[in-house]
Every structure is written in structure tokens, then in C-alpha cells.
Amino acid sequence: MSIETLTAAVRNIPDFPIKGIQFKDITTLFQSPSHLRELSDILYERYKKKGITKVVGIESRGFFMGPQLAVRLNAGFVPIRKPGKLPYKVIEEKYTKEYGEDTIQIHEDALTKEDVVLIHDDLLATGGTMVAAHKLVKKMEVKKIYINFLIELEALHGRSLFPDEVELDTILRFEI
């Protein structure tokens, strides 16, 4: 299967959630066993030699492929969630979105200085949530951080928000 086949399987929903947005629906990829297996294989092949000890998934779509990848890499899985969703002591990062401020949190003991971390989410658009997740994980002084998305909307230039030393990778790319 090719990247082109996976790209073609993503459903485009015009004017969702608001008029003017072209929503990329990835549920079509997850409904097909062959597409899901291919995504899993691509992610595994890209990260199997990186020494990943923890995969961090961002609520909630980072929870789709994140745990599966963690299992294949023999790594742990750590969720980053919205406030009030994690039961133990947390550290948090506030960030600005197009329409206000938001906050994400992680358990204070979820990562150690020995961890090599892959932060995973479904979509790189404007980049705000992942920038906050990167800052949050960086506060924990881990050894190395990799960032991965299933999809990148290149026209929104979210990639430009990350320092050059951040190894950021996407599987499928759309202009918009």
C-alpha cells in the first residue's frame, strides 16, 4: 500500500466544524484493517531504532494510534489531557488558541530524565497544542523528544513554530 492510497482514503468534510474549514476525517483510515495496519507499520518502521521509551498521546486523537505504537515499540504510553481528567498530581502548560486560552496537563511522574519520548497526535494545523505539549514534556528534562503527526496541513505552516532541532515527522500531507 502506498502513501497515496492512505491519503486518498482520508475523507474531506467541507464546512466542518464551521464554514470555510475543510475537515480531514481520519476515521476512514481506522475503519479499514489494511489502512490501520499500514499506518501502524509506517509508524513502527520510522521509530523502531530511536530508543523510544514512552509514547505521549495528546487528548483525544493522539490516543488512537499512540497506544498501539507504544506496544509495538515496547514502550509505555502517557496521556496528555485537558484539566481535571488526570487523577494524580499534574504539571500543566497554558497556550493560546485562535479563540482563547487552553491548558493541557500530564502526571508529574509520567516521564523521567532517562526517557526518550515520541509525542504523537493526529493533525498538525496551526501547531499550538503540540507546541504546548512539547514545552510540557521538555519541562520534565527527558533525554530526547520526537514529534509525529498522522496528517499535516502544510498551508497553515504549523511546522515553523518548532525549533530546528526538533525532529518532526508526518505521514500524510495536504495543502489544506
Give the integer Cα–Cα distance in Å for 56 and 10.
24
d(CA 89, CA 11): 39
Question: 46, 59, 61, 72: which is the annotated catalytic residue?
Answer: 61
Catalytic site includes residue 108: no
d(Cα 129, Cα 71) in Å, to the nearest integer? 24
Catalytic residue among 4, 98, 101, 165: 98
What Cα–Cα distance (Å) separates residue 108 from each residue in 73, 86, 121, 145?
A: 23, 10, 20, 17
Assess whether 37 carries a catalytic annotation: no
Q: How many helices (H) and strands (E) does the chain have?
A: 5, 9
Count Cα atoms within 13 angstroms, Cβ side, for 20.
0
C-alpha cell at 122: 493526529
Residues with catalytic annotation? 61, 98
